[in-house]
Amino acid sequence: MDVHEALYTTRMMRRVHPDPIPLDAQARILDAAIRAPNGGNTQRWHFLAVDDQGTKNELAAIYRRCRAQEYADIAAGKLAKPVHDPEAHAETMRRIKTSGDYFTEHFTEIPLLVFVFAIDDHGGANIYPAIWSALLAAHAEGVGGTITTVLRYEAERVMKLLEVPTEEGWDMTAMLALGYPRGRWGVAANRRPVHEVSSRNRWGQDFGVTVASPLWPGEPSR
């Protein structure tokens, strides 16, 4: 897959088939992920793959509770506050909620959950390059993924269930939900354009180029 296609069209795929992801594909996804940059090349990361049905069932119940808590926090204005255009943001949140509801309802059918753990992840900086590489590599395999952080509300419970050696300093960064998508990939067009989110030499000064539409001209190949 062309690198630009991967960058432009790798979206969160919350609706996936239950078909298992072969182990060799899982290996290629994580083998790509661990090539990612990380501070000092300390590689203080661990990827825990969960495909055991009983464990997924237990996690589904936790996920449901955590998500309810997250939506309560959003309703209380504590989370996901828009910086720009509240109306457009409300529409985005409505769409995320619809696909998130589907995800929650079908959690137990997701074939593969990959929990990502780190020690001292520098506010995520040390681990998100690997997470994003995993999702790009998954896309190249035809596998869709979703980053979720909502389990942080019950991180202790999740880490106990997964027997994470927290005494060594491991902390849960995210859970990636992976599976073969039911829908098609599309360009992430719902982004504010480059010239609105960039400037030159001083904050707020014109960046110098107007980008009216996504510069990758292709159609998603899958």
Residue numbers at the binding site for ligand FMN (CB under 6 A): 11-12, 14, 96, 100, 103, 146-150, 188
Closest separation in Å from C-beta 14 to ligand FMN? 6
What's the CA gap between 55 and 87, in Å, rounded?
39
Closest separation in Å from C-beta 191 to ligand FMN? 8
CB of 144 closer than 8 Å to CB of 13:
yes
Q: H or E stretch including 179?
A: strand 171-179
Contacts by residues 213-220 (CB-CB < 8 Å, ≥ 24 positions apart): 214/8, 214/187, 214/189, 216/4, 216/5, 216/7, 216/8, 216/187, 218/2, 218/4, 218/5, 218/8, 220/5, 220/9, 220/184, 220/185, 220/186, 220/187
What's the CA gap between 151 and 164, in Å, rounded?
15
Among residues 157 and 203, whose Cβ is nearest to ligand FMN?
Answer: 157
Closest separation in Å from C-beta 145 to ligand FMN? 10
Q: Which of 195, 118, 122 is nearest to 159 (CA)?
A: 118
Among residues 120 and 206, whose Cβ is nearest to ligand FMN?
Answer: 120
Among residues 103 and 115, whose Cβ is nearest to ligand FMN?
Answer: 103
Closest separation in Å from C-beta 177 to ligand FMN? 8
Among residues 27 and 188, whose Cβ is nearest to ligand FMN?
Answer: 188
Closest separation in Å from C-beta 165 to ligand FMN? 24
Closest separation in Å from C-beta 77 to ligand FMN? 18
What's the CA gap between 22 and 178, in Å, rounded?
12
Among residues 38 and 148, whose Cβ is nearest to ligand FMN?
Answer: 148
| 132: its two tokens | 């994003």
Among residues 73 and 206, whose Cβ is nearest to ligand FMN?
Answer: 73
